[in-house]
Amino acid sequence: MKAIVLEKFGGLDSLVYTNLPEPEAMPGHVVIEVKAFGINHAEMHMRRGEWAEAAPVSGIECVGLVKSCPGGEFPVGAKVAALMGGVGRTINGSYAQYTRAPVSNVALIEADLSWAELAAIPETYATAWTCLFRNLQIAQGQRLLIRGATSSFGQAAVKLAVNAGVRVVATTRSAQRFERLEALGAERVEQEGPDLSGRIAEAGQFDAVLDLVGNSTVLDSLSIVRRGGKVCLAGWLGGLDPIANFNPLLQMASGVYLTFFGSFVFGTPGFPLSDVPLQSIAEEASAGRLDVKPSRVFKFAEIHEAHRVMEANEAGGKMVVVHD
């Protein structure tokens, strides 16, 4: 099969096209003919050698057709999505014509959408949905602040929340991106910054905050929710530096909740992928009630350009690669 191999750690030339044997069928796993896959920042960090684990073939998610499933959990030929569960980290991933994923990390995703649209759903929408409706338990009519909302993850969260009748305020560092977030349904857009709680009119009144900026703003986010409100930390757009000298006794408001979610837990006993309604999300998109169109679509032969665009922060949303 055709595959893209991480030959060394470093720049774009680290990703090399080659031929590899197709993955063999194994009990508890599904072999998938990859039709398309999303591009993720995790894969950039793996390419650079900044990730603890990196398989020779990168790619943490894909959509495609079941080629084999020894346990019979999925019928051969079924349209499925796969993400995490070691894919791209300890198992050769989706930058290839075929990949193998644990059954626990595969889900049916039958919908009348193009492969490019389907590929924009798995990692991004599964993570956004879990943060919103499991960690934050957001509900119709509530007020939600999404910090760092112009990332592909942030845009997906805005769309899902607005679609559920949630009142969304979004933030971004760039004033040029305000209009884009308003077009997605945000009631208002604020300039992102570490002192947002001192500038936003509803400070202390929000029901929830989804913080994708990270450690540099999460303490500020705790000052923005009401008593009983929830903050979910789920991104590091502001960098990976830890919170210095964090003292909950002095720095956390009383009666608020701080929670965290990382998509690497998908497929574990407490976080089965079956808990996420990927099929319903795809059906909403197919019916025109949710726009999952990727911002950029690349061919398999264009992986270097896809990584260049990602590294230059020029994506503007979710990018996908489609097999010819």
For residues 7 and 96, membership in a common domain is answered with: yes
Position 245 scores a pLDDT of 80
Give the percent of the chain with pLDDT over 70: 100
19-to-220, 270, 303 alpha-carbon distances in Å: 50, 37, 16
Domain count, the chain: 2
- What does the alpha-carbon distance between residue 166 and residue 185 come to, in Å, rounded to a whole number? 10
- What local confidence, expressed as pLDDT, does residue 246 receive? 82
pLDDT in tens, 208-248: 999 999 888 889 999 999 999 999 999 877 777 778 788 88
> Are residues 241 and 215 part of one domain?
yes
| Residue 278 forms part of a structural domain | no
Given this model, what pLDDT does residue 143 score?
97
What is the spatial distance between Cα 137 and Cα 218, in angstroms, rounded to a whole number? 18
CATH number at residue 249: 3.40.50.720
Quote the domain boundaries for residue 318: 2-120+283-322
Asked if residues 220 and 258 have their Cβ atoms less than 8 Å apart, the reply is no
β-pairing, 2-6 vs 15-19, is: antiparallel
Residue 10: give its domain's CATH number. 3.90.180.10
Could you report the per-residue pLDDT of 64-94, keeping only the tens digit for each? 999 999 999 999 999 999 999 999 999 999 9
Q: How far is Cα 193 from Cα 213, in angstroms, rounded to an integer?
A: 9
Q: Are residues 130 and 102 in the same domain?
A: no
Q: Are residues 115 and 147 in the same domain?
A: no
The CA-based angle 150-234-172, given to 5 degrees, is 25
Using CA atoms, how far apart are residues 60 and 86, in angstroms rounded to an integer? 8
166-186 confidence digits (pLDDT tens): 999 999 988 888 989 999 999
Whether 204 is covered by a domain: the verdict is: yes
Instruction: Give residue for tokens 């079941």.
Output: 66
DSSP 119-186: HTSHHHHHHHHHIIIIIS---TT-EEEEETTTSHHHHHHHHHHHHTT-EEEEEES-GGGHHHHHHTT-
- Alpha carbon distance 262, 135 (integer Å): 11
Q: 89 φ, ψ to 5°?
A: -115, -55
